Copies of this chain bind each other. A is one copy, B any other.
Amino acid sequence: MLASASPRTAPLADAAAAFLSGGKHLRPTFCYWGWRAAGGDPAERALVDVGAALELFQASALVHDDLIDGSDTRRGRPAVHRRFAALHRSARWHGDADAFGSAAAILLGDLMLTWSAEVFESAASDGDGVDAARVRRARAVFDRMRTEVGGGQYLDVVEQVSGAMTPEGQAERARTVIRYKSARYSVEHPLVMGGSLAGAPEPLLASYRRFGSALGEAFQLRDDILGVFGDPDLTGKPTGDDLREGKRTLLVAYALERASTAQAELVATRLGDPTLDLDGVQALRAILVDTGALARVETLLAELVSDARAALDAADVTDDGRKALSHLVDLATERTA
């Protein structure tokens, strides 16, 4: 449909295809196992549509997120706005290449958001496999998820510009951001969507919610740790990128609760400094370790993993579902990338 308008739209489709070929496919995986663990048929076609909808939604959010954060890379490649800025330069077009890159990233993110909704609805028309009432229940979760993610991203941006001004309650606010922007969205909502499509009874959906919210938060905490301490060769992101972007993570909030005046001042001046070099990264890392923040986050992460496992143990799921979900707990929280 895009190409029928003009061959000049080809770079949009190319960028979307390149973007979607990467990533961990975390959300489609949880959606699929939410379905399977509730006894859903492994070959159901609607699951492919819903999985694709989740992946397109995530792609859209990341493209806009990278633009907002000014990130240069994503999944080891140039971020979409950088890709289009490079296209502008190589074509020797007029005007500001970065402005063109931003415009294209906004529009491609919008298109992927729209395609996400479109492909979700294909699940409803796949016919006899999944009945309309089940699709409606899954859609209600999808709707809630999409609004929560947008609201969570906004809170994240507000926190980055205002967090330092109101240090009280910062840890609680950081957890709120995590919950809406990523925790429920990474695991809980996709899992419940899969379960709803399979017609899972309410007690099983409740187990999914407990399991998913704990695991999702643990997943995000691992992400926060990797964003500061991760190996760039494995994560595909430059060393200490989250520090340079000034992310107000729980790590930072915990560190500030116990920082000395000198440490707090260093955080205030260097966190979010786009010119932060390796020495600066090391200095901030040292504060996160010395204040005990890293250890506290690791402890909380371990508690959340244990909560998730307890919820899974108590859940009435199929055997292969239990095995897969248990394996996903390891993958999501013990990863190095």
Given A5-B176, A110-B113, 16 more A-B residue pairs with CB atoms under 8 Å apart are: A5-B148, A5-B152, A8-B158, A9-B155, A61-B110, A64-B110, A91-B162, A93-B165, A94-B162, A95-B161, A106-B106, A106-B109, A107-B153, A111-B151, A114-B117, A114-B147
Rounded to whole Å, the gap between the CB of A42 and the closest CB of chain B is 27
Q: Chain A contact residues: over half helix, strand or loop, or mixed?
A: helix
A275 CB contacts on chain B under 8 angstroms:
none
CB-based nearest B residue for A87:
B158
Would B94 and A60 count as touching, CB distance under 8 A? no
- A276 at interface by CB-CB < 8 Å: no
Would B161 and A93 count as touching, CB distance under 8 A? yes
Q: How far is the CA of A18 from the CA of B62 in the complex (A)?
A: 28
Rounded to whole Å, the gap between the CB of A256 and the closest CB of chain B is 15
- A38 at interface by CB-CB < 8 Å: no
A106 CB contacts on chain B under 8 angstroms:
64, 67-68, 106, 109
Assuming the A-B contacts A64-B107, A106-B67, are A93 and B162 also in contact, with contact meaning beta carbons closer than 8 angstroms in the complex?
yes
| Residue from the list B9, B67, B144 in contact with A151, Cβ < 8 A | B9
Chain B proximity mask over A61-84: 1 for CB below 8 Å, otherwise 0: 100100110000000000000000
Q: How far is the CA of A181 from the CA of B9 in the complex (A)?
A: 13
- A316 at interface by CB-CB < 8 Å: no
Q: How far is the CA of A136 from the CA of B122 in the complex (A)?
A: 10
Q: Which residues of A110-142 are within 8 A (CB) of B?
A: 110-111, 113-115, 117-118, 121, 125, 132, 136, 139
Q: How far is the CA of A186 from the CA of B302 in the complex (A)?
A: 54
Chain B proximity mask over A31-57: 1 for CB below 8 Å, otherwise 0: 000000000000000000000000000
A91 CB contacts on chain B under 8 angstroms:
162
Would B125 and A161 count as touching, CB distance under 8 A? no
A60 CB contacts on chain B under 8 angstroms:
110
Q: How far is the CA of A239 from the CA of B91 in the complex (A)?
A: 32
Q: Which residues of A95-113 are within 8 A (CB) of B?
A: 95, 100, 102-104, 106-111, 113
* Most-contacted residue by chain B among A12, A88, A110, A136 (CB, 10 A): A110
| Residue from the list B6, B12, B155, B164 in contact with A8, Cβ < 8 A | B155
A-B contact pairs, 13 of them (CB 8 A): A1-B144, A6-B173, A12-B151, A94-B164, A94-B165, A100-B157, A104-B157, A107-B150, A108-B150, A109-B110, A110-B150, A114-B150, A115-B147
Q: How far is the CA of A106 from the CA of B60 in the complex (A)?
A: 11
- A189 at interface by CB-CB < 8 Å: no
Rounded to whole Å, the gap between the CB of A134 and the closest CB of chain B is 13
Rounded to whole Å, the gap between the CB of A128 and the closest CB of chain B is 14
A173 CB contacts on chain B under 8 angstroms:
6
